[in-house]
Amino acid sequence: MSLVGKKAPVFSAPAVINGEEIVADYSLEQFIGKKEVIFFFYPKDFTFVCPTEILAFQEKLAEFEKRNVQVVACSTDTQESHLAWLLTEKNQGGIMGVTYPVVADMAKTISHNFGVLAGDWDYTEEGDLTFTGAPIAYRGSFFIDKEGVVRHETINDLPLGRNIDEMLRIIDAWHHVKEHGEVCPANWEEGADAMKPTREGVANYLSSH
């Protein structure tokens, strides 16, 4: 079930911040009323597609910060695994240099509550609890506004890396909507025409394009 239009699930979990410090109780609630958040999940530390995404977010971090958006990552690995990966050089498969927070969802409850866990729990006929699927997160991305409401989400299967520029486009579109009261048509980008959410506004936009 989609979380769009709903409050983002609340959590408190260990995380690595600033690429070097473990904190015990990290939460997105600290940003309520202050910042929007891009909260993204990735499958596992020390893998192949994941570091390309994590480093790509870091490369664009100034663009997110310019828009007053906090980037936060999460996987089902431990905080110790996160820290080890963050302290490993890029040429050795690490993600050294990443400064935004990386949350440790060891209990898999955050992934489950956001709907990105690549499996689920079930019971056998004998009543034993089992897990079916992969106990890791899909590549989920969530744009959360200052009120803690999810405004956009995408979920990619495990082998499909995401487009970081699309995250920025979504943020720009949301800011345009909030500032101008216009809606953003297909393939809208910053600086392009939007349209008034009326029949006349739509007709005028379509006739001029």
pLDDT tens, 25-35? 999 999 999 99
Q: Is residue 178 part of a domain?
A: yes
- Which pLDDT does position 2 carry in this prediction? 94
**50 flagged as catalytic:** yes
Q: What is the pTM of this model?
A: 0.94
45-62 pLDDT per residue, tens: 999 999 999 999 999 999
pLDDT-derived band of residue 191, with 50, 70 and 90 as boundaries?
confident
Residues contacting 22, CB < 8 A, separation 6+:
14, 15, 16, 79, 80, 83
User: Is the Cβ–Cβ distance between 74 and 111 less than 8 Å?
Assistant: yes
pLDDT band at residue 201 using 50, 70 and 90 as cut-offs? low
Model confidence at 199: pLDDT above 80: no
Domain span at residue 81?
13-162
Number of domains in the chain: 2
**Residue 54: what residue type?**
I
Does residue 103 lie in a domain region? yes
pLDDT for the residue numbered 183: 84
Residue 206 binned pLDDT confidence (cut-offs 50, 70, 90):
low
CB-neighbour burial class of residue 115 (10 A; exposed 0-12, middle 13-18, buried 19+): middle
Question: The domain that contains 93 carries what CATH number?
Answer: 3.40.30.10
Per-residue confidence at 1, pLDDT binned at 50, 70, 90?
A: confident
Catalytic-role residue among 15, 37, 50, 137: 50
Residue 4 resides in a domain: no
